[in-house]
Structure 1
């Protein structure tokens, strides 16, 4: 497994990270506990060192699942990236973000316990809390770094101005944000700002939540607990247009001798050595398909063909439902 360094102050991590959200029920439908744990083990055995979760994923279940999967593993052999602060209610409804300093300490205490670890490698607010200056939130995380409970500060889904303000308080290791062939808004202001300041990028949604995995079809219906049922990009009228882009991408992938998913992941990785794609593989089969992507070398001609197949801004539909778009630092 190749490695990359998250910015100028962040840790060295595997060139491909594992996103664990889908391993718990409630995001992409039912999940199999045994297969989820086996997938985490397979990823670690393959050299994946970066594992990402959130304390609000399935109401803490995801952290407990990872705590079980990581038990007995050398703590220096993996890095935990944890998002915090998303408020939930009964029925799993979202209720905003709480990033007050006292909330930072509270959320961290619960995460440490559920994960069964003494420290978090990268700790980040899941979204910007409009009621709390980012300086206060980052300052609270810095206090936890000084106390030995956190190693690095990360950010998630914020704009360039917020990145600068946060970085002025404490060096930021990385920004976690959606980045894929379908979601390229980061390229305008956010990515140049990260590079100016020496901050890495961990990209989630690299397969568009499965839309550009090569395994989704127009007749595929999301289950009742699958968030994709609410996604504009999967809505009737939009999904057909978006899948036509996938078919154009498939022709490029076949010529390259790889799968659509591998090509989509490789494209994100090819945008810079300061970018680490996160794959949300829920099974060992999907993980086995994703892992070779990091070895796919894309030439200038390959990148031009991919750009022709899926031009910037070609996707139809927002990347989140309307009620969530206002909490994002950048759009599509």
Structure 2
């Protein structure tokens, strides 16, 4: 698979990566061994970029076990930034320097490696200046425990301030045909200006941009889509109608709607590497196939005409969303 360079520090990754969250949390009951199988198949198909985080339960252990046979051939990314003693865990942040170091050491242990390729701040911490965060990660880079600094869910101001201290190679945020907040907040422009790569998570709209979407009530209680506004009532009808139009568009190109959605990202005027997650090798193969899809400027315009402002409904409840949109 072709590789691209993200950022100014020489981070080289495959055109598409693999998000690991679903191997352990968020989408109902999971099977760790299936996660291992999918990761290893992804590697054999040319994927070299794998994403996890301390907050995803046993995810780092699953990913570490899976990549052990080829660890030095891949790019391994994980994240820090939550207070793991809080209930629920994602309700409280902790990007204090001592905790960043603690997370780094624990992630190295869980992943079974002696270095982390990309170390992201998972979410901005309002109580810790981003300059301090960037400084600590910069020190970890000097010590050889981390190779590249990444931010996640950050606004332009934080990105600029952090980049002055330690070069930011990548921003990981939700971005897709469905979710276009990065455009509205002019973050895309900031990334282009500073030559920072974009790693979109949930590039398939948490599964809405596939042929397997269903109403919120049909998902199990421990599946986050059951409580996602985009799946509820009128929002679901609007979004499903849009996806059906995208499916028709994709069929004319002899590809799936998921491949269309991923190709839309990879054909932007920006260094973009989406990281769709899946527990299915069949879906994995389908997603990887999107790297071969070429879209014209007219195609991109026609896709935007179907969803000019993204999906209906917020990706998080209001009280949670403000944490993901902090500058």
| TM superposition score category, shorter chain reference | over 0.9
CA drift of 1:220 comes to 6.3
- TM-score scaled by length of structure 2: 0.96
Secondary structure of the residue aligned to 1:319 is coil
Cross-structure match for 1:3: 3
**Could you report, residue by residue, the CA deviation over 1:23-61 in whole angstroms, capped at 9, with x for unpaired residues?**
11x311111222111100000001101100111102xx0
Cross-structure match for 1:20: 20
Cross-structure match for 1:289: 286
CA drift of 1:288 comes to 1.1
Q: Which segments of structure 1 move beyond 6 Å, counting only runs of 4 or more? A: none
Matching of residue 115 in structure 1 with residue 83 in structure 2: no
Cross-structure match for 2:233: 236
Which of 76, 80, 90 is the equivalent residue of 2:76?
80
Q: 1:202 & 1:82 partners in 2: Cα distance?
A: 13
Aligned residues: 326
Matching of residue 202 in structure 1 with residue 199 in structure 2: yes
Q: Residues 91 and 103 of structure 1: is their aligned pair in 2 closer, same or farther, counting only changes over 3 Å?
A: closer
Matching of residue 154 in structure 1 with residue 150 in structure 2: yes
Matching of residue 97 in structure 1 with residue 93 in structure 2: yes
What is the root-mean-square deviation in Å for CA atoms of aligned residues?
Answer: 1.6
Secondary structure of the residue aligned to 1:42 is helix
CA drift of 1:322 comes to 2.2
Unaligned runs of 5+ in 2: none
Contact 1:218 1:240 in 2 (8 A): no
Contact 1:10 1:152 in 2 (8 A): no
Cross-structure match for 2:48: 49
- Once the two structures are overlaid, the 10-residue window that deviates more, 38-47 or 27-36, is 27-36
CA drift of 1:223 comes to 0.7
CA drift of 1:81 comes to 1.0
Q: 1:139 & 1:90 partners in 2: Cα distance?
A: 25
Contact 2:216 2:227 in 1 (8 A): no
Cross-structure match for 1:277: 274
CA drift of 1:18 comes to 0.4
Write out aligned runs for 1:138-287 (5 A): 138-188=134-184, 189-218=186-215, 221-287=218-284
Unaligned runs of 5+ in 1: none
- TM-score scaled by length of structure 1: 0.94
Q: 1:330 & 1:267 partners in 2: Cα distance?
A: 26
Contact 1:139 1:169 in 2 (8 A): yes
Contact 1:218 1:243 in 2 (8 A): no
Secondary structure of the residue aligned to 2:275 is strand
CA drift of 1:273 comes to 4.8
